[in-house]
A and B are shown apart, each in its own frame.
Chain A
Amino acid sequence: MNETDPTPPPIPASFADDVPLGENPRDRDPITNVPGVIEALLRHPRRIIFHLNQGNASGRIIGLLLAVALVLIAVYGVIVGSFSGGVQWWAAPLKITAGLAATAAICLPSLYIFTCLSGSTAQLGEVTGALGGLLALATLLLIGFAPVAWLFSQSTASVAMMGFLHLTFWLVAAGFGVRFLRTALRRLGLQTESGLNVWVVIFLLVSLQMTTALRPLLGPGENAPLLPRSDDKKFFLVHWADSLDSPARR
């Protein structure tokens, strides 16, 4: 008879734990490579937050988080591009990766300002790392959704339907990313969250507008300019309404 306990070990308390950072010995386990970052993001985010709080040593973690986010979003971009094929095989991943990087760069200064205004003593590097964690976790989840997105891409011809699907995946993924960011910033001394809530709205608005500013991301790209013409700028809600009205197919 097998006497080993079939119950899997409990997942370490990662989000709701009140133990100070570093007191749990697992917090101090080094993170040296990409699998380590992914493992920590999913199972022990306190490790990432602890290492972000370690001054100069946090540079490597920040680099790893951002690299993971950029590579994973590029992979997801290929899935997005597979809907129409042709030019979109390379244009969609390129634009989606550039769009995510631009969104992060545009929103980082205001995140730092809101963090400080909310009483945190976090340095710019720590805030950058927390944002990198948001992006890495969100893109990791997008990769989890990728098979579903690919399946729909191959069996659906409606641009509006695929747009809605990708949007839903992004909002779910970003929601988990924001949860990581919130936890990280609390650990870094955030005292009130109203400023962070405002920033989350700004971040989501910028990311959604980026999908319109860099269109077409879905639909055939052969006869469309790589980016919208200067006289064809639109607010994303207007663009979505137009997309719903048009019979655009891949």
Chain B
Amino acid sequence: MSPIENSPGRRSAELGAMLRGEAGVLAGWVAEAAPGRTWRQAGIILVGAGAFGAAMGSWRAPEQAVFAAVKLPGILLGTAVGNALLNGLLAPLLGINLRLRASLAAVLTSFALAAAILGAFSPLMAFLVWNLPPLAPGHPETVGAHNVMLLTLVGVIAFAGVTANLRLLQLLRRLGGGDAEARRILFAWLAGNLLFGSQLSWILRPFIGSPGLPVEFLRAEAFHGNFFESVFHTVRQLWTDF
């Protein structure tokens, strides 16, 4: 990789092109699938999602901040790599003739965009944490603060995710499929990534942590059960209670 290719100005220009969703530029990247750019996008994911994870985990404890800073980028990178084959197979089947590397580059670009947005919001998240009462067992304000935290997290992550997917849809349209093909592929990729990503998140929990439980990298029961089973049990419990 030449020094110019990796210069801060070029990195900043690439980030700007991603954020603006310059479909022509992004389509060129996907077609080219250059290793240098792939590493840079992985770097954006590590830094952006890592900073957001650290801000989120710092509410519980400094160790939790470090754990979440490692785990959140791990989910994004793990999902991109873990579903690379499936996504690469689905693209030509559903109407856009993308090679495996190109489909991985497209997904990685959208994840890097989401991570950049998360990274930009991490100072705000850290400021929120600084202003919240401590996450301590028996603290009267913890429940309310937890709800504020959860709502903010959902809002920021939803914003990052929706923006990244809108840009991915524009990119898929540009890559040669019509509107219908682009939507079909986006939907298929989203479904696959949701399935893989949600279970990976389930295994890698906790991210914020619970005041009643010790700070740990993985729960002892990390590999027991799954995300959808848990959602099912929660819904059934709610049904029984009402």
Chain A residues with a Cβ under 8 A of chain B = 102, 105-107, 109-110, 112-113, 116-117, 119-121, 123-124, 202, 206, 209, 212-213, 230-231, 233-235
Is B124's CB under 8 angstroms from A116's CB?
no
Q: Which of A109, A112, A113, A231 contacts B134 (CB under 8 A)?
A: A231
Q: Which of A119, A206, A213, A233 contacts B20 (CB under 8 A)?
A: A119
* B222 touches A (CB below 8 Å): no
* B19 touches A (CB below 8 Å): yes
Q: How far is the CA of A16 from the CA of B112 in the complex (A)?
A: 37
Is A117's CB under 8 angstroms from B20's CB?
yes
Q: Which of A106, A113, A123 contacts B19 (CB under 8 A)?
A: A113
Assess A123 versus B16: contact at CB under 8 Å? Given A106-B124, A113-B120, A117-B163.
yes
* B187 touches A (CB below 8 Å): no
Is A202's CB under 8 angstroms from B19's CB?
no
Q: How far is the CA of A120 from the CA of B122 in the complex (A)?
A: 22
Q: How far is the CA of A57 from the CA of B163 in the complex (A)?
A: 33
Assess A110 versus B20: contact at CB under 8 Å? Given A123-B12, A231-B134.
no
Expressed in whole angstroms, the minimum distance between the Cβ of A114 and any Cβ of chain B is 9
Q: Which of A102, A110, A119 contacts B120 (CB under 8 A)?
A: A110
For A124, give the chain B residue with the smallest CB separation.
Answer: B12
Assess A209 versus B131: contact at CB under 8 Å? Given A116-B16, A117-B19, A123-B16.
yes
Q: How far is the CA of A206 from the CA of B139 in the complex (A)?
A: 25
Q: Which chain A positions have C-beta within 8 A of B12? A: 123-124
Q: Which chain A positions have C-beta within 8 A of B117? A: 113
Chain B residues with a Cβ under 8 A of chain A = 12, 15-16, 19-21, 116-117, 119-124, 126-127, 130-134, 139, 163
Is A106's CB under 8 angstroms from B20's CB?
no
Most A CB within 10 A of own CB, among B20, B116, B139: B20
Q: Which chain B positions have C-beta within 8 A of A106? A: 123-124, 126-127
Is A116's CB under 8 angstroms from B133's CB?
no
For A106, give the chain B residue with the smallest CB separation.
Answer: B123
Q: How far is the CA of A235 from the CA of B117 in the complex (A)?
A: 25
Q: Which of B120, B131, B139 contacts A112 (CB under 8 A)?
A: B120
Most B CB within 10 A of own CB, among A117, A206, A230: A117
Q: How far is the CA of A187 from the CA of B122 in the complex (A)?
A: 28
Q: Which chain B positions have C-beta within 8 A of A107? A: 123-124
Q: Which chain B positions have C-beta within 8 A of A112? A: 120
For B51, give the chain A residue with the smallest CB separation.
Answer: A109
Expressed in whole angstroms, the minimum distance between the Cβ of B142 and any Cβ of chain A is 11
The 8 closest A-B pairs by CB, nearest first: A116-B19, A109-B120, A106-B123, A113-B120, A110-B120, A233-B133, A106-B127, A116-B16
For A109, give the chain B residue with the smallest CB separation.
Answer: B120
Q: Which chain A positions have C-beta within 8 A of B116? A: 113
Q: Which of B122, B123, B131, B163 contacts A233 (CB under 8 A)?
A: B131
Q: How far is the CA of A70 from the CA of B117 in the complex (A)?
A: 28
Q: How far is the CA of A158 from the CA of B103 in the complex (A)?
A: 64
Assess A121 versus B124: contact at CB under 8 Å? Given A231-B133, A235-B131.
no
Q: How far is the CA of A102 from the CA of B131 in the complex (A)?
A: 14
Expressed in whole angstroms, the minimum distance between the Cβ of A140 and any Cβ of chain B is 26
Q: How far is the CA of A6 from the CA of B134 in the complex (A)?
A: 65
Q: Which chain B positions have C-beta within 8 A of A235? A: 131
Expressed in whole angstroms, the minimum distance between the Cβ of A228 and any Cβ of chain B is 9
Q: Which chain B positions have C-beta within 8 A of A113? A: 19, 116-117, 120-121
Is A105's CB under 8 angstroms from B20's CB?
no
Q: Which chain A positions have C-beta within 8 A of B131? A: 209, 212-213, 233-235
Q: Which chain A positions have C-beta within 8 A of B127? A: 102, 106, 206, 209, 213
Is B119's CB under 8 angstroms from A116's CB?
no
For B134, give the chain A residue with the smallest CB separation.
Answer: A230
